[in-house]
Amino acid sequence: TPGKWLTLRRLQYARQLLMGSDLNVTEVCYDSGFENPSHFIRAFKNTFGLTPLEFKSKKIATAF
């Protein structure tokens, strides 16, 4: 559905922001077009298997 497609695009954009910026999870949430951080975190985890914070931490850990 169009709503699911839009959510997926927002989550993909959020993933890029988490990988390539120093923004915190709340800033990424709002910059990605989500209005509710808890909804963003839940949707991110359902899609990518990790919370945004876990994803960002793993990204930093793999950079070394």
Task: Pick 39 or 57 by higher pLDDT.
Answer: 39
> Residue 18 has what pLDDT?
95
Residue pair 14/52 in contact (Cβ under 8 Å)? The answer is yes
23-43: average pLDDT:
97
12-32: average pLDDT:
96
**pTM to 2 decimals?**
0.87
26-33: average pLDDT:
97
Contact partners, residue 29, CB within 8 Å, separation at least 6: 14, 36, 37, 40, 41, 52
Percent of the chain with pLDDT over 70: 91
